[in-house]
Structure 1
Amino acid sequence: MDIRHLKAFIAVFEERNITSAAQRLCVAQPSLSVTIRQLEEELGVALFLRQARGVDVSEQARVLYPQAQRMVAEAEALSVSFREGRQRLVLQLGIEADIAGSQVESFLRMASTALPSLQLTLLDGCAGDARLGVESLCCEDELFLPLWDEPFVLALPSSGAPLRWITCPQQPSHQRLLGFYGDAAQDCAGTAASLQQAVQMVAAGLGQALLPQSLVEHHPGVHWRPCQGAALSRRVGLCYAAQALQLPALAQLRVALGASAD
């Protein structure tokens, strides 16, 4: 017994007519009759009673019908799941620590819209087939696909505490920000290892900081305003090694996001 036998049985059971069932299955009537006879011989029962017009169903057929429906449905569902699995585009994506949650969410929406079959696994930091990060943190041999340019803004605590600077000396942006700090950088309120930590220090009322807008614009306890003078910004996008483009998921995503960025 195979699925073909069960589909033939279901069609005849529901149509109560060999000719109509054959038309429904797009097969020749003699071929369908042979298939039904093979099923009957395998089960050792008569499933249909031939009449002058159509067929009547036996009690054994009434017992078999719901089981046959279930078996065909399970087989078709299994086939679909394997076909979808072959078509799925798998990609592991690292997320750098100082990328705002809003940007991660925006990227996920963009990626899923561009490639509905994409299956992402998110990882922390510099890991995966590619990563969502800042251009200045890309390695020398990595490629970069820009997605957003965002400004640095002045982040202020809502508590009205004394406004000394909170700095991030380990960040690539630190050298570019020294001109804004001036001599006040020598008497800073504190230092942070990451921009996310600096946001938390500002929110706690320890001081003020120059930070990417996406990190502070929705953070409770933090007010922000544009920087006066020269504009500073950072570029956020996809960092990846050239050989990673051999992965169909990354290659297709790069084309789709590159086109949308243009």
Structure 2
Amino acid sequence: MIELRHLRYFIAVAEEGHVTRAAARLGIQQPPLSQQIRALEDLVGVALFYRLPRGVELTEAGRVFLGEARAALAQVGHAVEAAQRTARGEQGRLAVGFTSSAAFHPFIPAVVRAFRQQSPEVELVLEESSTGELIEALQRQHLDVAFVRVPAGEAAGITIEALLNEAMLVALPAHHALARGGKRRSIRLTELADETFILSRRPTGPGLYDAIISACRAAGFSPRVGQEAPRMMSTLSLVAAGLGVSIVPESMRRLNTEGIAYLTLSDAPRLVAPLHLAWRSASVSGAMARLIAQVRAMASRA
């Protein structure tokens, strides 16, 4: 079998035109080098050099072989460099997931923008879904990392790291009496005791769903859930249509949805929407490690 050392030895002899000078260049003795060249010719099955009184000269087959040998070594070099760059996170492919509510938090686009600037040769594939679906996609290796809210229970093989907490707002139909014609800025949770709630379905975001229910009960009432929407956007559409009220992460306000009044909660400081980063514990690639480090650094400054 032809090995890379055979190619390197052959190229050195071809470029020097002399076995002794090639041996000195390679840092080996002349006799072993001559043996390796003869072994290479046996493997190829043709003579690659003419032996001359004062050196060697490539045969026609040798000249063709020289070009191919150089190309082969160059390709190996490219392969090594590509592997090293991938291990350093400088190139490759990274599939990143995020929940529909997290997508509107300014932290997420800031991370994506910064990562693209830092690692322009890494292909980023972005996917939006619910927290439960994102965790499942990580476990099935369909995603590499994901920005999620509050997972339900343990996720086998997944590391989940808290990044930041986001305030929650009450979303009311703009014409609702509690909105007071858009002049009101805050509301007490207890004022919503008689309202019909519209929430995202629990399987879509179990953490936020349970947190809202718990906060209402702590305020002295059990919320009457009239409808459950498949996504946060759907929830806001139903609120705008006047079908009820909801409690959503503050970043959803950035949508500027017509027909909705957003009020801060004055009596539920612990009701927040956490943002976490999740990834497979056992397989952290170079690009994943680079993104995780960047997210941690940016979260520490947020």
Q: TM-score under structure 1 normalisation?
A: 0.61
- 1:133 maps to 148
- 1:167 maps to 198
Q: Which runs of 5+ in 2 are unaligned?
A: 140-144, 178-195, 203-208
Q: Is the 8 A contact 1:216 1:224 kept in 2?
A: no
Q: Give the alignment of 1:98-137 within 5 angstroms.
A: 98-100=101-103, 124-127=133-136, 128-129=138-139, 132-135=147-150, 137=151
- 2:241 maps to 206
Q: In structure 2, what is the Cα distance between the partners aligned to 1:238 and 1:80?
A: 30
Q: Give the alignment of 1:1-262 within 5 angstroms.
A: 1-42=2-43, 43-50=45-52, 52=54, 54-75=55-76, 96=99, 98-100=101-103, 124-127=133-136, 128-129=138-139, 132-135=147-150, 137-139=151-153, 145-153=161-169, 162-163=175-176, 167-168=198-199, 170=202, 171-175=209-213, 178=216, 192-201=229-238, 205-207=240-242, 209-217=246-254, 219=255, 221=257, 227=264, 229-230=266-267, 231=269, 232-238=271-277, 247=282, 249=284, 260=297
Deviation at 1:147, TM superposition (A): 0.9
Deviation at 1:11, TM superposition (A): 2.0
Q: Is the 8 A contact 2:162 2:274 kept in 1?
A: yes
Counterparts in 2 of 1:46 and 1:233: CA distance versus 1, 3 Å? closer
Q: Is the 8 A contact 2:41 2:48 kept in 1?
A: yes
RMSD: 5.2
Counterparts in 2 of 1:20 and 1:98: CA distance versus 1, 3 Å? farther
> Given residue 153 of structure 2, which amino acid in structure 1 is its aligned partner?
C
Deviation at 1:212, TM superposition (A): 0.8
- 3-state SS, counterpart of residue 162 of structure 1: coil
Q: In structure 1, what is the Cα distance between the partners aligned to 2:256 and 2:19?
A: 71
Farther off after superposition, 208-217 or 29-38: 208-217
Q: Deviations over 1:64-86 (max 9, x none)?
A: 11222233344555677788999
Q: Deviations over 1:135-161 (max 9, x none)?
A: 3x431688853111111235578xxx6
Q: Deviations over 1:182-237 (max 9, x none)?
A: 99x8798x7534423224446xx4257432123342x3646886615244422121
Q: In structure 2, what is the Cα distance between the partners aligned to 1:215 and 1:228?
A: 15
Counterparts in 2 of 1:249 and 1:141: CA distance versus 1, 3 Å? closer
Q: Deviations over 1:58-117 (max 9, x none)?
A: 3222121122223334455567778899999xx99875554326565667789998xxx9
Q: In structure 2, what is the Cα distance between the partners aligned to 1:206 and 1:69?
A: 70
Deviation at 1:37, TM superposition (A): 2.3
Q: TM-score under structure 2 normalisation?
A: 0.54
Q: In structure 1, what is the Cα distance between the partners aligned to 2:284 and 2:126?
A: 12
Q: Is the 8 A contact 2:253 2:262 kept in 1?
A: no
Q: In structure 2, what is the Cα distance between the partners aligned to 1:224 and 1:66?
A: 72
Alignment coverage as a number of residue pairs? 241
Q: Is the 8 A contact 1:48 1:61 kept in 2?
A: no
Identity %: 21
Q: Deviations over 1:105-131 (max 9, x none)?
A: 667789998xxx9x9997834413486
- 3-state SS, counterpart of residue 66 of structure 2: helix
Q: In structure 2, what is the Cα distance between the partners aligned to 1:23 and 1:155?
A: 80
